[in-house]
Structure 1
Amino acid sequence: MSATTRYAAMSRRAAMTAAALTAMVALAGCNSGGAGAPAEGDMALGAAEGAKVTVVEYASVTCHVCEAWQKENWEAFKAAYVDTNKVRYVFREIPTPPAEIAVAGFLVARCAGSDKYFDVIHELLASREEFVTDPRSTLFRVGNGAGLSNERVQQCITDEAAMAAAEKRAEAARAAGVDSTPTFIVNGTKVITPGSPSGPSMADLSKAIDAELAKS
């Protein structure tokens, strides 16, 4: 079977899972209760679990608003709060259209392992336009960069158990009331910047975080 044929088979299988995910999580904007609580499958950076401040981001690797937030704010946020261990930063996956491509990206990131997970997520976001137009080449390139062979990438994105786990994570996000990407939750409270074209501003996020850090 050629690589193209194998990838097409993967796409059909991932599309079936993505259809179910999309039905469960209808997101606005590409626009909260239990959204900040610990969840199975959480991927985190910074302070350890039980930290004074936990920042949860719900995002998708095919979301142009998430792409903009990363380009505009990630390095400043990381330097101020993650690298200094002031917060526990948790990234939670929600597939946005084209959902089958987002699901494949998340599966490759998880296959790369916890030490390379965020490298894959951030590279896919940085390459979002390329990713949604040429997912096959992008997944191979980014996967290779994380130490995965092309064959391993194909195995990752056709892993039915992994797809089922992705479905459970998306269902948990829906149950938590998340309706947009990116959504940021600081110690259980959603951060909103009205009118922002790229999600919550760094100023509003910092204000929320700093207020929590200042509490006794």
Structure 2
Amino acid sequence: MTLLRTALLTSMGALALAACGDSKTDPAKEQAAIAKVAAPAGKSWSQTVTVTPEGGYAMGNPEAPIKVIEYASLTCSHCADFSNTSHEELKRDFVDTGRVSFEIRNYVRDPIDITAAAVIQCAPKERYFALMENAMAAQAEIFANAQGNQAGYEAAMALPPAQRFPALAKAIKLDTFFQSRGMTAEQINSCLGNVANLEKLEKGVNAANEAYPIPGTPAFIINGQLAEGIGTWPVLRDRLKTLGAR
């Protein structure tokens, strides 16, 4: 990973064509149905968010028998499709039952991705999933803003890292995107001007590649094992049901 040193993927077309996961199936043996587990009084499991030692964000019952990790990129169209089609049903029918915990680990692939991911991770942890969903839903708008100011994008990428990412956020209007969702300009600039926040995301990708043969994004880990052939919500939903989340 060299996102902090070079202007990777400055072509918007390259972003659109970068590798995403496939959707071939990998059958799993049907397991017995798992009983629901009630959340603590006054809470729902989908509102229970923790930051994991690996730098991911997990929602749900920490003791859930089915633990799902998604490696997600904010500039992957398949990740956006998964987010847009899954989040309500995933929370309601799986996470809130206490049967499934769901963790996202940002798998950053390009300058736009790492910029947006860093800002989201600088927000309070309780806002993480909502901001990820917002950014995924606005992926086409974010790309359009970048395409509309290619000169500003390239000028930002020529700056040293501490100036590069605040300038990039401004050039492609990510700053106003997140300001409209409750973050201040000062918070965004401080977050992106701290190179350690960007380095942490790069280290997360390197750790993922060492731990698993990540085939593309989205990639899913279920109970510690890479789940082959899951790239869409219907396929993951069926797999969770097969594993007893029903």
Which residue of the other structure, out of 176, 182, 193, is the alignment partner of 1:147? Answer: 182
Give the whole-Å Cα distance in 1 for the aligned partners of 2:225 and 2:238: 12
The secondary structure found in structure 1 opposite 2:126 is coil
Amino acid at match of 2:134: E
**Structure with the largest fraction of helix:** 1
Give the C-alpha shift of residue 126 in structure 1.
Answer: 0.4
Give the whole-Å Cα distance in 2 for the aligned partners of 1:68 and 1:101: 18
1:29 aligns with 2:20: yes
Q: Which residue of structure 2 aligns with residue 123 of structure 1?
A: 134
Identity of aligned residues (%): 27
**Quick check: which has more Rg, 1 or 2?**
2
Give the whole-Å Cα distance in 1 for the aligned partners of 2:128 and 2:90: 18
Which residue of the other structure, out of 104, 109, 112, is the alignment partner of 1:91? Answer: 104
Amino acid at match of 1:29: C
1:182 aligns with 2:182: no
Give the C-alpha shift of residue 82 in structure 1.
Answer: 1.6
CA contact (8 A) 1:186 1:209 kept: no
1:106 aligns with 2:117: yes
Give the aligned CA root-mean-square deviation in angstroms.
2.6
Q: TM-score, normalised by structure 1?
A: 0.73
- For residues 58-115 of structure 1, what are the alpha-carbon distances to aligned partners after superposition, in whole Å with 9 as ceiling and x for unaligned? 111111111111222222222211222221100011123xx10100111110111101
1:47 aligns with 2:61: yes
Amino acid at match of 2:70: E
Amino acid at match of 1:86: R
Indicate how the Cα distance of structure 1 residues 132 and 155 shifts in structure 2: closer, same or farther if over 3 A, else same. farther
Give the whole-Å Cα distance in 2 for the aligned partners of 1:106 and 1:151: 17
1:75 aligns with 2:66: no
Give the whole-Å Cα distance in 2 for the aligned partners of 1:206 and 1:127: 24
Aligned length: 181
Indicate how the Cα distance of structure 1 residues 171 and 143 shifts in structure 2: closer, same or farther if over 3 A, else same. same
Amino acid at match of 1:168: K
Give the whole-Å Cα distance in 2 for the aligned partners of 1:141 and 1:77: 29
CA contact (8 A) 2:66 2:99 kept: yes
The secondary structure found in structure 1 opposite 2:221 is strand
Give the C-alpha shift of residue 124 in structure 1.
Answer: 0.6
Give the C-alpha shift of residue 131 in structure 1.
Answer: 1.4
Q: Which residue of structure 2 aligns with residue 200 of structure 1?
A: 232
Q: Which residue of structure 2 aligns with residue 210 of structure 1?
A: 241
Give the whole-Å Cα distance in 2 for the aligned partners of 1:167 and 1:15: 9
Unaligned segments of structure 1, at least 5 residues:
1-12, 20-26, 32-37
Unaligned segments of structure 2, at least 5 residues:
9-17, 23-51, 146-168
Report which stretch shifted further, 105-114 or 185-194.
Answer: 185-194
Which residue of the other structure, out of 4, 12, 16, is the alignment partner of 2:5? Answer: 16
CA contact (8 A) 2:84 2:133 kept: no
